[in-house]
Chains A and B, each alone.
Chain A
C-alpha cells in the first residue's frame, strides 16, 4: 500500500504544521487549521447521513429494479431518472460517488452513472434555487439547457470508450461482493 503510506505521511506533516502554528502563533497556519475545522464540521453534518441513506438503498432496492430502469436494457428515460436523482444530492459531488458505486454494483449502465455524477454537480435543487435568486432565472435556465444535453452526450461517449477498455468501478474497502445482491 504505497499510496496509503504517502497519504498517511502527508496527513502527519499537515497535522504537525498546524499544531506548531498554534503553539508558535503562526498566523497562516492557524487560519489553515481553522479552515480545516470548519470544513470537517460541514462534512460531518452531511457525509455520515448520506452513507446511511446510500446503504439503506443498497440493502432494500432490488438489483432487477435498478437494471430495468437504469441498466443496459433501459431506454432514454434512464437519463431522466439519473438527472432527477442527482437533483436531490445534498452537500457536494463527493456524496454522489458512493451512490454511483452502489448503482454500478446494482447493474446501472455506465452512461447513466456518469450522467448522474455530472448532473449531481449542476442540478442540486437548493443550490440552483439559490443561484437563480442571486443571478437570475435566465442564468440558471441557460446553464441547465446547455450543460444537461452535453453531460448526457459526454456520458454516452465516455461509456463507449470505457467499455472498450474494460473499465470497472471500485471502492477502497474490502467488502465482500455478496452484499451486492
Chain B
C-alpha cells in the first residue's frame, strides 16, 4: 500500500465526509458553520458568550473530527463512524452488566467521557451551576415584593403549560417526554437537564442541546419581542419610588430567609431538592460573609462548570444527533415554549402595570422567564435604551429569582406526578393512542 493510498486513512475527518450519507455530510458542514456563527455572535455580545463561545467551538470541532472508530460496536448504522470525544448513549438499550462494562471501557478511551458521565449525565454540573447562580442572587429583591414577582413568574410559565398538552396531543410524545420538553419554557437550563434526566433520559441529549441553544437566543431575541408587544411609552416608563420605603434586610436576615425557604421548598418538592439545595446554598454562601467561599463558588466553580457545560453541549451537537427525526419537533417545541413564555411574561408585566395603576414598567415581565440573570439584564437594557434614567433591574431580578422558584415548583410537580407508571401518566397516555 503506497502512502498516497493510505491518505484517506490519515485524514479521516475529510474521508468520512465523503463516505457518510450526503445528508449527514451536509449537516456536518452546516453545524461547523453554525458553531463559528455562535462563537462570533457570542463574542459580539448578541448571544450569551459564556455558553455560546465554548458551545460553538465544541459544535464545530465534533463535526470536523468524525473518524471510523467504534470500540463498542454501537455505530453500525452510521458506518462505524464516531469521535474520540464522548459517547452520549453509552450502555443505552443493553443489559446492565454490559452497560457497565461499556461505560468503564469508554471512560478510558474518550477524553471528555469522564466529564460527561461523572458530572453531566448525573446532573452534578447543573447543581454546581445553580450553586454559582445562587451566589450571584440577592434574595432581598424577592423579599421586597414577593407577590408581584411570583405573579409575573407564573405568567412566564405560560410556554411550559401550553407546550405540555401540545406535545402530547399533536406530536404524540409520552407525558414524561412532553413534560421534559415543556420545561424548556421555564428557561432554566439546570432545571431542564434535571427534568429530562428524571423523566425521559433517552431524550436528555437533544433536550439539553435545544434548551441551551435557545437560552442563548433569549438574549438576542427577547428585545425584539418586547418592542413588538409593549408600546414605546411604556418601555420608557420610569417606575416611581414606592410611597413607603421598602424594608431593608441585612445579610443575617437574608440568610435566615434563604435557609427557611430551602427547607420549605424541599419539604414540598423533595424530588427537586438537589437543585433547590444547590441554589439556596449559593444564596446562603453569598450572605454568610465567608469571602473565601463566595470567591470560590461565584468565581472558579461557576465559571469552570459553565465552561465545561457549554463545551460538552457543543460536543453533543454532532450531525447524527441533530438529524434524529425526534429532534426536529423538539427544536420547534423548544422555540415555541420560550416564545410563549416570553409573551406570557410580558402579559404578566402588562397585568401588573394595570393592577399597580401604571406604577410598574411592563418590560420587567420578560424577566419572569427565569434564565438568571440574562432576562433581567435584557429588561434593563431595553428600558435603558428607551429611557436612560429608568431603573427596573431590582424588580426584574426579583422576578428572575421567582422564575427559578416557579420553574422548580413546576418541574417538581411534573416529576412527582409523572415519574414511573403513575395513574396520571396512564390517563395522559390515552391521549396519544386516541
The answer to whether A and B come from one shared complex is no
Binding site for A on B (CB under 8 A): none
Residues of A at the B interface (CB closer than 8 Å) are none
